[in-house]
Chains A and B, each alone.
Chain A
Amino acid sequence: MILLLRLSVRTSLAAFLLGMARLIAATCLVLLLPATYAHAQESDFGVAVPITFTGEGIYSGRLQEEDPDSSPLAPAFRAVLYPSVKLGRHWFGSATLQIHSTPFFYEETYEPYRDVETNLLQALAGYSWSGEKKSFTLKAGKMMTAFGAFPLRYDDNSNSLLDVPMSYGYYYKPVSLYGIPGIEFDASLNRFDTRFQLTNSAPSNPQGLRSDSQHAQWAVGGGYTIRQGLRIGISAHRGPYVDREDVSPAQWDRAADLPATGVGTDVQFARGRWSLAGEMQRFQFNKLDASAVVAHYGYGEVKIILTPRLYAAARFGYRRQDLRPSRNSTELTVGIRPNRFQLVKIGYLWLRGEGVEGSEYDVFGVQYVTSIQAISKAFRQGTAVCCQLPPQ
């Protein structure tokens, strides 16, 4: 149906182990750097490379689905680098580079392949301006889709749970977490915010700039902040999604006009020690035989801070889709903060639905997440202070 473009570098098992060793060594080196960035002044000119490194252990029967003799336990890692440059108060550039071993994401656990993948999720340049209660941002490059709300929390430090909501992911998902080339305009005025994005491909099937399957399309979204801490939003997208490789040449012209349509609503709430988020989405994928595949996804998420070092979070999600079995997921996670830069998440995912027996698709996972400010260099450094000692 939908073939996602996997912008990945696949390697052998030896390369996987070598990559793991290099990454762990690099992480250890970076961790030894003095953590001075907490005590510094913000600058408008400079470069920064924040890194979020995650080590993970997964235990699930999914890992034995293809080969019952394989281990139900899998170690994994994910490192996300955010190289960024600020060129004054308005201009900026930013990229998101993800290196991860497979299976890391829960959707990857059905396949036992051990690889290391490198993905450039975002690479964009932008201009932002803000005035009194109004602002706008213009971005161009490869970026996350403007559809939906979860991609804004797509970092293991920001995501309170281990897995992602069911409609998001990399493989056969209605909303891919790969970036899409395009341009985006964001604006906000008082309590309203809006965004408009033009891209070369659908959120469900991102394509590179040299792909034969590019189709211009749009995504829009907007929101209203009812009061501080409570915002509701809507978003939509529409455009061709079919990959040229999936249809015969004779059908190509027709397939190029088949649209995928998505509409969604989202809500975020926070007060005191509680925070909640939720989304409901409907997708329609038109097909060559004049039929359409319709899918409904949704989730609700709650987090409570129990102590300064401890939180608990839960996410309840569902999928209702033509031609595919329904699924309900419940994920519970406890997060522990050993210190400001590190987070340990321990979670369990229950997956239930048609054709699922017992706990065969459940996942127990542990994540160790650490934030590293490997580089943060301002172009305009403050001058040194030097006072004369008083005469003796």
Chain B
Amino acid sequence: MKRASLLLLFLAGTLINPLISLSYSGAIAGRIKVTKSLTKRRVTFSPYVQRGAALPLLPEVSLPVDDEFSRIAIYLEGPGLGPSAPLVAQLDQRNQRFEPEIVVIPVGSTVSFPNSDPIFHNVFSLSKPKTFDLGYYPAGQSRRLQFDRPGIIQVFCHLHPNMSAAIVVTPNQWSTRPRDDGTFVLSSIPPGKYQLVVWHKSAGFFRRKVEVKDGTAVSMDFEIPIRESSPEP
């Protein structure tokens, strides 16, 4: 809930800021177009089922496979973009899944990893910006980690290979997620030359150079995956 509140505040700021800040800084607005389903449905099956206490029934409805926008993070890279205040986010282990699939935080932020399942998970990451192994801890307990280096941290569970999530640690405060219709806005950007980064959990990185001028809004659309004929700005 805490993380959700922070996210809402951040989104609200992102929506309101362009109206009041375009006069002394620039903005980038655009839309993400996902041209095909990138997240495959798959089957996992364990031939050796662990014995133990009965597990609760998993929800019938799985996460929508076509909700590709929820697997996208957008952020800005470049000189002169200072770090922002760190956040506290949460990556829950619930129903043998990570919730949410993607956490976007600025560098220096902390992520808590509560276990909400009656079974053990063994959360780990071998990603370069942060390697960790949280070990085993029971339902109701949590572990916390601070992320001091920007980058993508892929998170998995040793015991349940179907569980995967990503923590996107952005180098500054200029980051956002696309809305339900794929549109996004980054506002209050100091004038300068930057690189706009769109990262999709399955498709990876998409980068474009962008120059932000004082008092203007740059329009920038992305197609994922990028078609070869897509013009570079």
Contacts and interface: CB of A to CB of B under 8 A. Distances in A.
Interface of A: 36-48, 50, 82, 84-86, 89, 92, 94, 96, 122, 130-135, 137, 144, 149, 151-155, 158, 186, 188-193, 195, 221, 223, 225, 227-229, 231, 233, 270-275, 305, 307-309, 337, 339-340, 371, 373, 376-378, 380-390
B31 A191 contact: no
A116 to B, nearest CB: 22
Contacts, number: 209
A266 to B, nearest CB: 9
A390 B51 contact: no
Contact of B53 (A191, A195, A371, A378): A191
Nearest to A47: B43
Contacts of A340: 126, 154, 156
Most buried by A among B64, B71, B133: B133
A381 B64 CA distance: 11
Contact of B51 (A130, A144, A231): A231
B151 interface: no
B32 A387 contact: yes
Nearest to A48: B43
Interface residues of B, number: 62
Given A193-B52, A387-B32, 9 more contacts: A41-B62, A84-B43, A94-B45, A134-B54, A154-B48, A270-B136, A308-B124, A371-B161, A384-B35
Contacts of B49: 137, 152, 186
Contacts of B48: 144, 151-155, 158
Contacts of A388: 33
A378 B135 CA distance: 31
Given A84-B47, A380-B41, A38 B164 contact: yes
A390 B221 contact: yes
Given A193-B51, A273-B133, A308-B126, A43 B31 contact: no
Q: Is the interface of A mostly helix, strand, loop or mixed?
A: strand
Given A41-B62, A41-B63, A308-B132, A228 B39 contact: no
Nearest to B32: A387
Contacts of B65: 41, 381-382
13 contacts: A40-B39, A43-B42, A92-B45, A195-B51, A223-B52, A228-B118, A271-B135, A272-B135, A340-B156, A382-B39, A386-B36, A387-B31, A390-B31
A231 B33 contact: no
B135 to A, nearest CB: 4
B206 interface: no
B201 to A, nearest CB: 5
A305 B133 CA distance: 8
B146 interface: no
Given A43-B41, A82-B45, A189-B54, A38 B156 contact: yes
Contacts of A339: 126
A94 B47 contact: yes
B194 interface: no
Contact of A39 (B119, B125, B202): B202
Contacts of B15: none
A233 B51 CA distance: 9
B68 A132 contact: no
Contacts of B161: 371
B52 A188 contact: yes
A189 B32 CA distance: 48
A337 B126 CA distance: 9
Contacts of B71: 39
Contacts of A190: 53-54
Contacts of A94: 45, 47
A271 B124 CA distance: 15
A169 to B, nearest CB: 17
Interface in B163-184: 164, 181-183
A41 B55 contact: no
A117 to B, nearest CB: 19
Contacts of B156: 38, 340
B114 to A, nearest CB: 14
A42 B55 contact: no
